[in-house]
Structure 1
Amino acid sequence: MPPVPGNRGIWVGILCELSEFALMFLAWAWFRRVHPADFHAGPAMLNASAGLANTLVMLTSGYLALRAVMAIRNDDVLAARNWLVAALLGGGVFLVIKALEFRWNLAHGVAGTGNSFVAIYYYLTLNHLVHVVWGCLGLIWAILRAHYGAYGAADHEGLEAAVLYWHATDLAWIVIFPLLYVLR
């Protein structure tokens, strides 16, 4: 049986992250039940194009991070580093789109007061934004370690850990997108 990728520490972190998001999704479900009108009208208030663009960016960035793992397993450190840089650029694009979306929201009166859908929207997306920043920091760490020769085919646990965390952040967004931008 092959070893589990990454390390125990990252799996504990991922479990904590996914548990945190699971609790937020339960809060979403409760508020949706208690304030159905807010949640029925809510997605129409949002910029669905920004949500879709960020979904595509996150999925693409996750694929690029996966390519880094495949490259390091083939002992191609330069390619692994370059794939990580590309994944990090995807994270940067996500952050820019999210900042523009928040600006658009404020210009269109989507503020977190008086509407439970909007409050949950900001709670979920700002929390996810924090995780994206942490994921970007993890990718930067892995890029630097790859650049200075810390990884190879035989030892790349840290690189795998950074990519696993990035995928957990992808997974959270894959749930957030339909809950906020699609379901009525």
Structure 2
Amino acid sequence: MNTIALTVNAAGPADQSREGRTALPGDLAVWIFIFAELLVFGVLFVAYALARRSHIELFNSEQVLLDRQGGLVNTLVLISSSFCIAYAGAAIRANRVRGCMAWLGSAWLLGALFLALKAMEFSHDAAIGMQLSRNLFAMFYLALTFFHFMHVLMAMVIVSVVIRNTWLGRYSAAHHTGVETASSYWHMVDLVWIILFVLVYVLH
């Protein structure tokens, strides 16, 4: 988180030279952090798949209790937010600062909608007794979704910083590494959710 915060707050000539050295959008150090995050989620997904294979009947019977329709809505919300983030990057590259802020704000609002819907789903889960101590499926489901929930919250904090910096005029068509860094992290969070949704909600 500190690495990302430092990057999105940075502005100046270094941005231009960095963009010229790498094909990856944003800061290289943040990409290392993103790959580390993906590795953690990957390990959790593999552990879930192995547990499911060993307890297929339990996982199938518990999975039907999940709000699959709500999960689909949240998936569409995050996919839409990714488009907003992508358009924000395109806007700042065209030096359309207000457009960039508008798209970033839209992504932030969609992220907030995701968290609100997921919080409602957690409330429903609690009402039907879906707790960590319930069984192995519940433990994996709640751990994975809450871990991702916190990553969405972190992504929103990062985008908030980028919106502030954009408002202060710290980004332009020539210098916008912070925008691309936030965009890369946001896309990572969205990708993880899509995999999580298919693996936990859909695969049966």
Match of 2:74 among 12, 34, 54: 54
Question: Residue in 2 aligned with 1:123?
Answer: 143
Match of 1:86 among 96, 106, 111: 106
Instruction: Tell me, in whole angstroms, the C-alpha distance in 1 between the residues paired with 2:53 and 2:202.
Output: 17
Question: Residue in 1 aligned with 2:154?
Answer: 134
Match of 1:158 among 170, 174, 178: 178
% identical aligned pairs: 38
1:106 Cα offset (Å): 1.1
1:103 pairs with 2:120: no
Secondary structure of 2:26's match? coil
Question: Residue in 1 aligned with 2:132?
Answer: 112
1:42 Cα offset (Å): 2.5
Instruction: Tell me, in whole angstroms, the C-alpha distance in 1 between the residues paired with 2:145 and 2:134.
Output: 18
Segments of 5+ residues of structure 2 without an aligned counterpart are 1-19
AA paired with 1:154? A
1:3 Cα offset (Å): 3.6
Match of 2:197 among 177, 180, 183: 177
Instruction: Tell me, in whole angstroms, the C-alpha distance in 2 between the residues paired with 1:38 and 1:115.
Output: 9
Deviating above 3 A after TM superposition, structure 1's stretches of 4 or more consecutive aligned residues are none
1:38 Cα offset (Å): 1.6
1:117 Cα offset (Å): 1.1
Segments of 5+ residues of structure 1 without an aligned counterpart are none
Instruction: Tell me, in whole angstroms, the C-alpha distance in 1 between the residues paired with 2:58 and 2:33.
Output: 33
1:34 Cα offset (Å): 1.9
Instruction: Tell me, in whole angstroms, the C-alpha distance in 2 between the residues paired with 1:103 and 1:128.
Output: 16
Question: How many residue pairs are counted as aligned between the two chains?
Answer: 184
> How much is the aligned-residue C-alpha RMSD, in angstroms?
1.2
Instruction: Tell me, in whole angstroms, the C-alpha distance in 2 between the residues paired with 1:41 and 1:18.
Output: 29
1:27 pairs with 2:47: yes
